């Protein structure tokens, strides 16, 4: 039992994501080192209309608001950030010096995949012109032969 | 009889034109429209037409007589509906739903006010039928976003946006708040100033009062 204790390896994670690796060599004596365990956050950025966004600066910010690393999204919207310690971060989409999207990311494994939605160039998509004008044109095109209505009846019945 | 047909179509055209000021604009049509009638009532039921003017009937209007209930549009010609437009009795666009990935799956719906301006958009970001993101608009500009990022049915991210004078520029985030505890209210928030500086505030006890984060030991 004593021998087993001597070989026991203690691993504990601190609140800041660091890992304490300690070895009990003799009863009452602990030696070891604090190892900063890191992981990588990667993912895809798209606009709320579902289009992958390229050339967006993806910036990772810690709880204090300090930048912890950044990268630029590829043509397919994919990005991979530099390795950081296990912790909770805010991921920001930055375009033309404006923050246009955010996401809270908790890194607690060697890799973390994120899908983040940003609001670049979205308004025009939702404002597509309604096609009812085309319907009216179609009615005009076929109206002379396709519609039959009794006099004064606007029900569209034949 | 011919006069009767003409008058009927003119009446229908006139009725369709009410509430759609752009109706009388000359809109070319190249496809051959086709119509279906309800066999029981005799009312017009469907009109297939070419809204893109490319020779293909890409849109089908579902109607009850002269009332347009909805129009389905296949924008890319793959046989799947990409957009659904829903109209009120005055033929004003009430809402439009979208298949953002053009796969026939409805994953976003935009709602419009009586003035035609967009009011809000509800989005299923994963396309799984759970509409977890809502974008709110005012005077045509994005003002805020609410999102349930972990799928527990409760909002855990709030973004507030600002635009330039008169909505002249793309919106930027002025406040982003997050509920990292998934308790239903923000645990922390980032406040962005126009010059790009960032201020962090926290609300650990959930009383709605944000304060400076405690100094780290």
Q: How far apart are CA B10 and CA A87, in angstroms?
A: 69
Q: How far apart are CA A88 and CA A62, in angstroms?
A: 7
Q: What is the predicted pLDDT for the residue at B5?
A: 40
> A57-61, A146-150, B58-62, B171-175: which range is least confident on average?
A146-150
Q: How many angstroms away from the CA of A68 is the closest CA of chain B?
A: 14
Helices B2-17 and A132-146 pack at an angle, to 10 degrees, of: 170
Q: How far apart are CA B125 and CA A49, in angstroms?
A: 9
Q: What is the predicted pLDDT for the residue at B166?
A: 57
Contacts of B12 in chain A (CB under 8 A): 139, 143, 147, 149, 154, 156
Mean predicted confidence (pLDDT) in A73-101: 96
Q: How many angstroms away from the CA of B207 is the closest CA of chain A?
A: 20
Judged on CB neighbours under 10 Å (0-12, 13-18, 19+), B21 is: exposed
Q: How many angstroms away from the CA of A3 is the closest CA of chain B?
A: 37
Q: C-alpha B188: how far from its chain's center? A: 30
CA angle at A136 for the pair A135 and A139, rounded to the nearest 5° = 90
- How sure is the predictor about A133, in pLDDT bands with cuts at 50, 70 and 90? confident
Q: What is the predicted pLDDT for the residue at A6?
A: 41
Judged on CB neighbours under 10 Å (0-12, 13-18, 19+), B188 is: buried
Beta bridge partners of A102: A92
* Whole-complex ipTM: 0.80
Q: What is the predicted pLDDT for the residue at A3?
A: 46
Q: What is the predicted pLDDT for the residue at B216?
A: 65
- pLDDT tens digits for A65-77? 999 999 999 999 9
Put simply, whether the predicted model's pTM sits higher than 0.90 gets the answer no
Q: What is the predicted pLDDT for the residue at A1?
A: 43
Least CA distance to A114: which residue of chain B? B149
Q: What is the predicted pLDDT for the residue at B144?
A: 96
Mean predicted confidence (pLDDT) in A102-109: 96
Question: What percent of chain A lies above the pLDDT cut of 70?
Answer: 72
Q: What is the predicted pLDDT for the residue at A156?
A: 55
Q: How far apart are CA B41 and CA B22, in angstroms?
A: 30
Q: C-alpha A150: how far from its chain's center? A: 59
Domain ranges within chain B, ordered by starting residue: 132-217
The top-level CATH class assigned to A39-125 is: mainly beta
Residue of A88, A97, A154 lying closest to B66 (CB–CB): A154
Q: What is the predicted pLDDT for the residue at B26?
A: 41
Contacts of A137 in chain B (CB under 8 A): 27-29, 49
Q: Name which of B16, B38, B85, B155 to mutate to probe chain A: the one with the most chain A Cβ atoms within 10 A of its Cβ.
A: B16
Contacts of B7 in chain A (CB under 8 A): 149, 151
- SS3 state at B13: helix
Write the secondary structure of B73-91 as one string of H (helix), E (strand) and C (coil): ECCCCCCCCCEEEEECCCC
Domain ranges within chain A, ordered by starting residue: 2-36, 39-125
- SS3 state at A140: helix
Q: Which residue ranges of chain B lie beneath pLDDT 50?
A: 1-11, 13-15, 17-28
Question: In the structure encoding, which two tokens stand for residue B73, read together?
Answer: 């549009």
Q: What is the predicted pLDDT for the residue at B189?
A: 97
């Amino acid at each position: 039992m004593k021998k087993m204790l001597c070989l026991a390896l203690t691993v504990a994670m601190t609140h800041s994501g660091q890992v304490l690796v300690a070895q009990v060599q003799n009863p009452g004596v602990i030696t070891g080192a604090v190892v900063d365990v890191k992981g990588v956050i990667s993912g895809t950025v798209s606009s709320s209309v579902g289009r992958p966004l390229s050339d967006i600066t993806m910036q990772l910010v810690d709880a204090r608001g300090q930048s912890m690393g950044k990268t630029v999204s590829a043509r397919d919207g994919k990005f991979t950030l530099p390795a950081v310690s296990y912790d909770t971060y805010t991921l920001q989409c930055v375009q033309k010096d404006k923050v246009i999207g955010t996401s809270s990311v908790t890194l607690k494994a060697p890799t973390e995949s994120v899908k983040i939605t940003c609001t670049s160039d979205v308004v025009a998509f939702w404002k597509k012109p309604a096609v009812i004008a085309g319907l009216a044109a179609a009615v005009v095109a076929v109206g002379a032969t396709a519609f039959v209505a009794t006099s004064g009846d606007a029900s569209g019945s034949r | 009889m011919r006069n009767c047909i003409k008058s009927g179509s003119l009446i229908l055209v006139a009725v369709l034109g009410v509430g759609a000021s752009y109706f009388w604009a000359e809109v070319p049509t190249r496809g051959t429209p086709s119509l279906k009638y309800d066999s029981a009532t005799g009312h017009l039921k469907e009109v297939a037409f070419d809204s893109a003017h490319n020779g293909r009937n890409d849109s089908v209007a579902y109607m009850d007589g002269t009332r347009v209930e909805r129009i389905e549009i296949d924008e890319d010609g793959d046989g799947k509906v990409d957009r659904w437009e829903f109209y009120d009795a005055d033929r004003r666009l009430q809402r439009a739903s979208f298949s953002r990935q053009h796969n026939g799956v409805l994953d976003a719906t935009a709602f419009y006010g009586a003035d035609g301006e967009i009011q809000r958009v509800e989005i299923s970001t994963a396309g799984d039928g759970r509409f977890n993101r809502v974008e709110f608009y005012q005077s045509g500009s994005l003002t805020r976003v609410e999102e349930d990022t972990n799928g527990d049915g409760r909002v855990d991210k709030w973004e507030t946006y600002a635009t330039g004078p008169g909505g002249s520029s793309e919106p930027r985030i002025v406040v982003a708040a997050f509920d990292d505890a998934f308790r239903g209210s923000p645990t922390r928030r980032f406040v962005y100033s126009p010059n790009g500086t960032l201020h962090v505030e926290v609300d650990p006890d959930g009383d709605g009062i944000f304060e400076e984060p405690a100094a780290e030991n």
